[in-house]
Chains A and B, each alone.
Chain A
Amino acid sequence: MRMAELYPVGGKTVLGSHLFTAEDIIRYARQFDPQPFHVDPEAARHSLFGGLCASGWHTCAGWMKTFVAFWTAEYVRLKKEGKVPPELGPAHGFRDLRWFRPVFAGDTITYSVTLLETREQASRPGRLIDTILCEGVNQNGEPVIRFESTVMEFA
């Protein structure tokens, strides 16, 4: 099966939710993004953000985490139903990433994916390039992140 048969172009699929605890935010940021508003609650209160918030890259990683969990479960489900799930290859990267709002300690982000476009590589039959829109909203329904990614699919 192809992704477009499973998830029609333009339809949004909710992947799951992830709670960003203060502990996780600080642990990630100490390793990779130790700016004061990501590691120090007191300093964060005095920053433009107004409170401890996750590194934008942590918010991205949260999308990947929920996607992998979702796809792993889908893969099993499809096989159980006697269907042949598409194989996904590595992503080439992403573009138009926006961090709309900070993700504060205690926020729960619900992530989604939307297939925007799928096209066959003329030079390599059976190999498709999918463009997907990846999004996250907080518990108030406010968008916090979006980006577009290109993923290889082997039909």
Chain B
Amino acid sequence: MLCFEDFPVGRRFDFPSRVMTAEEIVAFATEFDPQPMHVDEAAGKASVLGGLAASGWHTCAVMMRMLCESYIDRTAGEGSPGVQSMEWKRPVLAGDTLSGHCRVVEARVSRSRPEIGIVRFVADVTNQRGETVAVCDYANMIRVKATEAAADAHG
């Protein structure tokens, strides 16, 4: 498993690509964000978004899945304290293929819990034209290598 030490500033993880189908967009929005432009193609076309568009929260969810597949699945992760910023730059429309990458921008050991490192990333989610659709500045809590944490704990 990847530990805190495996996340130096600058390390990059590439996302697998994923097609955003109309069916998935409508299913997500029906449950969580049933605004017309997210559940109805005609309403989406008539809106400023220009087509059946994914809820921004759906884009967040898909980005999370990409983070899982690119590194979290093989990381000794302990969740996240939060997100500094999320910018929805462009609409994500039905049929778009999303991909992208994230990069470590800051890494430090927690002062109150020295067995945990706090790693800040910036994720760039792109569409099939290479346009950025979302930028997310967020943090993960990741375990420090066990031997070192144990050594610290025992002074």
**Do A60 and B88 have beta carbons less than 8 Å apart?**
no
Size bracket, chain B contacts: 20 to 34
Chain A hits for B61, CB < 8 A: 28, 31-33, 55, 57, 61
Q: A57-B57, A64-B57 are in contact. Are A99 and B64 (CB under 8 A)?
A: no
Interface of B is mostly: mixed
Residue B101, interface by CB 8 Å: no
Residue A90, interface by CB 8 Å: yes
Chain B hits for A47, CB < 8 A: 78
Chain A hits for B55, CB < 8 A: 64
Residue B82, interface by CB 8 Å: yes
Residue B155, interface by CB 8 Å: no
Q: Render A79-114 as a binary contact track against B, CB cut-off 8 A, 1 for contact.
A: 000000000011111111111001000000000000
Chain B hits for A93, CB < 8 A: 56, 85-88, 134
Q: Render A27-55 as a binary contact track against B, CB cut-off 8 A, 1 for contact.
A: 01001111101000000000111000001
Select B64's contact among A57, A64, A94, A102, beta carbons within 8 Å: A57
**Do A95 and B48 have beta carbons less than 8 Å apart?**
no
Q: Render B55-83 as a binary contact track against A, CB cut-off 8 A, 1 for contact.
A: 11100111011001000110001111111
Residue B23, interface by CB 8 Å: no
Interface of A is mostly: mixed
**Do B62 and A64 have beta carbons less than 8 Å apart?**
no
Residue B8, interface by CB 8 Å: no
Chain B hits for A99, CB < 8 A: 79-82
Select B79's contact among A49, A68, A91, A147, beta carbons within 8 Å: A49
**Do A97 and B86 have beta carbons less than 8 Å apart?**
yes
**Do A98 and B82 have beta carbons less than 8 Å apart?**
yes
**Which B positions have Cβ atoms within 8 angstroms of A?**
31-35, 37, 48-49, 55-57, 60-62, 64-65, 68, 72-73, 77-88, 91, 134
6 A-B residue pairs with CB within 8 Å: A60-B57, A61-B31, A68-B34, A93-B87, A94-B86, A99-B81
Give the 4 A-B residue pairs with the shortest CB-CB distance, closest first: A32-B61, A97-B83, A61-B32, A93-B87
